[in-house]
């Protein structure tokens, strides 16, 4: 789960320290609005026995190990023991950065119940991630462009867009519009190959043009920025000395191959505290316009989660005009798209001056999401694909 969400959850629920593992786990899944919780809960509703291992929740993982009588083992060993205890038919890897290749190899040899190992990936990746993917049966990804990339690299891959969890609507009732949030951006600003450099540039321009953008930005910690700057400097030295073999040995050099700058002071000074979980959805439900800017990893194809989160909550989505946009929404009717920063500014001004049109577009976008882009529909599609793959084995 997203680290920012976990931090906010434990601030609100300090009492979880007194719960046993099962109650702690269920409390987290009931509260969370994240991909993993929505899909696990929906799979169970559809009759599929699904459980998740939240590998980056240290307190929950320690609690499981303690109750299982496991002492002094690594995080990867704990994950392996959890998989063995569940004895699943299918193992879904949702975050390749959280698992080591050696763990996947051991899973294949030590957990005989597993018939499929599935990977989901729709973000920047390096050769290290690609090597782990070779131990999967097939992949899911969220954009047509990344599906083509993976297939060209020799991986079997299915494309499924992200979706909106309709169970959240009951938690978004009676939320009125907020005049301070007529035009917002909420999200992360990460730096590195395939991340958010274009996003940073557009937000800077919108703030400079004073079009009323309110930001809820999640910045990388200063020490991560300094580490990335150091890696980039080392990358340049390695290139100058013609020691490119080191880039193959250490995939991090593939990821940090462009300059990493400190965040501009006015960007951090004018920012509001980032929001996570249901608070983020409430922000969207009270906003007029939600700006969406894809990361560079998706290239010219749309498909990130924000498109469905914002429209599902009832906001008017303003996003880039991308190759496959009409597969998902009808521009001008269900969402508004922009071609470049200047066009984005023009569209914002028009929407702010035409409230009835903005509301009509927002309502149409929400209807489309609730009709075609729900988590339940995606889970049904996934089940069909998984059953098809299991039959072939």
> Could you tell me if 186 and 286 lie in one domain?
yes
Give the global pTM.
0.88
**Per-residue pLDDT for 197 more than 90?**
no
- Identify the weakest region by mean pLDDT among 52-56, 135-139, 259-263, 317-321: 259-263
**pLDDT at res. 254:** 60
**Per-residue pLDDT for 193 more than 70?**
no
φ/ψ of 84, rounded to 5, equals -60, -40
Q: How confident is the model at residue 298 (pLDDT cuts 50, 70, 90)?
A: confident
Q: How confident is the model at residue 98 (pLDDT cuts 50, 70, 90)?
A: confident
> Could you tell me if 46 and 135 lie in one domain?
yes
> Could you tell me if 212 and 157 lie in one domain?
no
CA atoms of 204 and 185, how far apart (whole Å): 12
> Could you tell me if 17 and 159 lie in one domain?
yes
CA atoms of 353 and 368, how far apart (whole Å): 24
Buried b (16+ CB within 10 A) or exposed e, 49-61: ebebbbbebeebb
375-387 residue pLDDT tens: 999 999 999 999 9
> Could you tell me if 313 and 384 lie in one domain?
no
**pLDDT at res. 357:** 97
**pLDDT at res. 248:** 63
CATH number of residue 158's parent domain = 3.40.50
**Per-residue pLDDT for 251 more than 70?**
no
The structural domain count of the chain equals: 2
> Could you tell me if 247 and 310 lie in one domain?
yes
> Could you tell me if 59 and 72 lie in one domain?
yes
The residue segments making up the domain with residue 185 are 166-372
Nearest to 74 by CA among 82, 112, 89: 82
**Per-residue pLDDT for 314 more than 70?**
yes
Positive or negative: CA dihedral 73, 75, 76, 81:
positive
- Of 65 and 295, the structure prediction assigns the larger pLDDT to 65
318-362 residue pLDDT tens: 999 999 999 999 999 999 999 999 999 999 999 999 999 999 999
Residue 15: burial class (beta carbons within 10 Å; 0-12, 13-18, 19+): exposed
> Could you tell me if 189 and 55 lie in one domain?
no
Q: How confident is the model at residue 138 (pLDDT cuts 50, 70, 90)?
A: very high
> Could you tell me if 317 and 380 lie in one domain?
no
Positive or negative: CA dihedral 57, 62, 68, 73:
positive
CATH number of residue 335's parent domain = 3.40.50.2000
Q: What is the DSSP letter of 298?
A: G
> Could you tell me if 150 and 231 lie in one domain?
no
**pLDDT at res. 232:** 74
254-290 residue pLDDT tens: 656 667 777 778 788 889 999 999 999 999 999 999 9
- Of 212 and 299, the structure prediction assigns the larger pLDDT to 212
φ/ψ of 221, rounded to 5, equals -60, 150
> Could you tell me if 184 and 328 lie in one domain?
yes
**pLDDT at res. 246:** 64
Average model confidence (pLDDT) for the chain? 90
**pLDDT at res. 173:** 87
> Could you tell me if 14 and 137 lie in one domain?
yes
């Amino acid at each position: 789960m997203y680290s920012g969400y976990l931090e906010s959850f434990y601030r609100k629920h300090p009492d979880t320290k007194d719960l046993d593992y099962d109650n702690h786990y269920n409390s987290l899944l009931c509260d969370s609005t994240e991909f993993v919780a929505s899909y696990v809960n929906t799979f169970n509703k559809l009759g599929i026995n699904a459980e998740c291992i939240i590998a980056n929740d240290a307190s929950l993982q320690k609690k499981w190990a303690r109750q299982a009588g496991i002492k002094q083992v690594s995080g990867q060993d704990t994950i392996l023991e959890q998989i063995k205890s569940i004895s699943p038919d299918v193992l879904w890897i949702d975050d390749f950065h959280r698992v080591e290749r050696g763990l996947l190899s051991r899973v294949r040899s030590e957990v005989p119940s597993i018939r499929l190992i599935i990977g989901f990936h729709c973000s920047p990746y390096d050769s290290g991630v690609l090597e782990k993917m070779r131990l999967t049966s097939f992949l899911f990804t969220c954009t047509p462009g990344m599906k083509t990339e993976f297939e060209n690299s020799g991986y079997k891959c299915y494309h499924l867009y992200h979706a909106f969890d309709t169970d959240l609507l009951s938690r978004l009732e009676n939320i009125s519009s907020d005049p301070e949030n007529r035009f917002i951006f909420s999200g992360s600003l990460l730096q590195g190959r395939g991340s958010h450099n274009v996003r940073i540039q557009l937000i800077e321009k919108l703030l400079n043009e004073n079009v009323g953008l309110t930001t809820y930005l999640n910045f990388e910690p200063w020490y991560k920025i300094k580490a990335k700057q150091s890696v980039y400097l080392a990358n340049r030295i390695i290139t100058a000395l013609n020691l490119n073999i080191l880039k193959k040995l250490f995939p991090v050099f593939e990821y940090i191959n462009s300059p990493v700058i400190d965040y501009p002071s006015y960007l951090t000074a004018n920012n509001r505290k980032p929001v996570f979980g249901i608070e983020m959805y409430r922000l969207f439900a009270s906003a007029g316009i939600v700006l969406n800017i894809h990361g560079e990893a998706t290239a010219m194809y749309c498909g990130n989660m924000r498109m469905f989160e914002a429209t599902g909550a009832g906001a008017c989505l303003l996003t880039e005009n991308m190759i496959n946009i009409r597969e998902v929404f009808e521009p001008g009717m269900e969402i508004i798209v922009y071609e470049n920063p200047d066009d984005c500014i023009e569209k914002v001004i028009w929407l702010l001056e035409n409230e009835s049109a903005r509301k009509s577009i927002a309502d149409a976008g929400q209807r489309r999401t609730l009709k075609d882009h729900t988590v339940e529909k995606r889970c049904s599609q996934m089940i069909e694909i998984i059953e098809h793959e299991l039959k072939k084995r």
